[in-house]
Amino acid sequence: MQIKKERFIKSKLKIMLVALFVLFLGLYDVNAQACPSRSTYTDTQATLVGEITDTGGDQNIQVWFEWGRTTALTNTTPVQTLNVTYTPYRFCYTIFNLNPCTTYYYRAVAKNSAGINYGEIRSFTTTCGTQQSDLSVSCYSAPNPAYVGSLVTFYSNVSGGTGYYSYSWSGDCVGNSSICQKTFYTPGTYYVYLTVYSDGISRATNCSVNVISREIQQTTITSQNQKPIANITYSPTLIKPGTIVTFSSAGSYDPDGRIILYEWSINNEIVSRNPSFSRALSSGTYNIKLTVVDDKGATSSKELVLSVGRTQFITKTITKTITQTVRVPVTKPTTPAATLVTKEMQNSYLDISIDDYLKTYICKKDNINITIINNNSKKRKVSFTISGEIKKWFKPKARVIEVLPNDINSFNWTIDVPCDAEEGEYYGIITAGINGTKKDFPVTIEVSKKENIFAPLAAFAGGLFSIISTPWILVIILILLNIAMWYYLFARSKEKTKIE
């Protein structure tokens, strides 16, 4: 009896240890995801959020954020060391002492043995007041009405507060995220209750869904509601790389109700659920899509494609008012002795094109090509500087290039990749400046080991040697050499006989 009792106690201890281990893993997972789903901000602080979608085969990853008031991103957050056991994996960091009504730029950075990866540069503008705006909460269901056996999604629509929210759904659907989903198998009306919390403030609301039998014709449902109409406007209409563009849903409407949800996406990635939003666009093609949902669950979308070209530097030249005496040869038409030139402001352009990607090899000199087009009647001087981890490779570290009026100047900037460099991608920024105007050009250099041109020959020789080294091949070669030697001696002796 005593032995059985001890075995029972040991088995019970094992069960408790396993339960504690599972609980620890659950708590670890919760802590790892204790970040908002997107970056949030107030007037003086912001929580930056990044996401790891691929570990590259090494789950030990270091992450941080680069941020600042310009795209130069002069500040960095402390490095976080993560053990990423699954993807996508979210991480975040809160920065403080920001200025109200100010635009900031940031990007996430991740590094492991597979290399270093930089996220897209994004921006946000801190709020202008020190007081939090009032928290506003509503919800709706889609589809509504819904068939028996269909999945129904309850959506939250939240604004105000700090921008960081937690959710609590109850009633006929229970959950803790921004949406709640459930399948209903009996006809009837179902109600859900939503409470949203934001920094000590809470607001509650409720919504419902009408679940009907599949015997009701689809025409009866659609005749009760008309789809909303989506419309996209944006400004400014002239977009150069780096321009902050504001997109608006102005002109969108619902013929028989109201629009309760706006969803914006850029190149199939959701970026906002507000009626309008702003985004700085670099060179490239962007598919802008707006989806609107009305108060009965009907949806409509509109898409817009924008192509942003390369950067143009715009400099301003002022012609001052002057009075001067002009001596004119008598052979030419005369002009007044004094000429008055009125003040005017004219635009002159410099087009600058820089290679943004270069593939090269360790222990090799290579070049980045830069082309400057001067589209005005005065010569211009453009300064170029390099920053980032590739700066030490450039010879020299800075360049000043003069371009004649209405001319093109193309030059190569030499880089010298050291022999102790490691394989991978390296990043830097070439900054072009003229008359106090500056523009950053991101540059990526991919470095790999140079293939040995003698490798195929060595492989062939090695293969030939392996064939020759087999015993029976050596025997055949010896026989052939003997035959050749005897034939040579026989021919020589025959030749001697003829001479004699």
Same domain, 181 and 297: no
Q: Per-residue confidence of the chain (500 residues) as pLDDT tens digits?
A: 444 444 443 444 343 333 333 333 443 343 444 788 888 888 889 999 999 988 888 989 999 999 999 999 999 999 999 999 888 899 999 999 898 888 999 999 999 998 899 999 999 998 875 444 578 899 999 999 999 989 999 999 988 877 778 999 999 999 999 999 999 999 999 999 999 988 778 889 999 999 998 765 444 444 578 899 999 999 998 888 878 999 999 999 998 888 988 999 999 999 898 999 998 888 888 999 999 999 888 899 999 898 887 544 433 333 333 333 333 333 333 333 332 333 332 334 567 878 788 889 889 889 888 888 776 778 888 899 998 888 888 878 788 998 888 777 888 989 998 998 888 888 889 998 887 788 888 888 988 887 555 545 554 555 555 555 556 677 788 888 888 888 787 777 766 565 55
Q: Is residue 7 part of a domain?
A: no
Q: How many other β-carbons are positioned within 10 Å of the β-carbon of residue 273?
A: 18
Same domain, 107 and 167: no
201, 222, 243: which is the final residue of a domain?
222
Q: Is residue 35 part of a domain?
A: no
Same domain, 159 and 208: yes
Could you tell me which of 289, 228, 302, 222 has the C-alpha nearest to residue 258? Answer: 228
Q: Is residue 26 part of a domain?
A: no
Same domain, 303 and 322: no
Same domain, 208 and 257: no
Q: Which structural domain range is residue 283 located in?
A: 233-308
Same domain, 282 and 396: no
Same domain, 320 and 303: no
Same domain, 321 and 423: yes
Same domain, 395 and 297: no
Q: Is residue 144 part of a domain?
A: yes
Same domain, 142 and 108: no
Same domain, 118 and 137: no
d(CA 338, CA 345): 22
On the question of a cis peptide bond just before residue 78, with omega within 30 degrees of 0, the verdict is no
Q: What are the structure tokens assigned to 216, written together?
A: 């009701």
Cα 289 to Cα 241, 263, 426, 469: the distances in Å are 20, 8, 33, 69
Same domain, 316 and 440: yes
Q: Is residue 2 part of a domain?
A: no
In CATH, what number is assigned to the domain containing residue 173?
A: 2.60.40.10
Q: Is residue 27 part of a domain?
A: no
222, 254, 278: which is the final residue of a domain?
222
308, 323, 343: which is the final residue of a domain?
308
Q: Is residue 158 part of a domain?
A: yes
- Number of structural domains, the chain? 5
Q: Is residue 8 part of a domain?
A: no
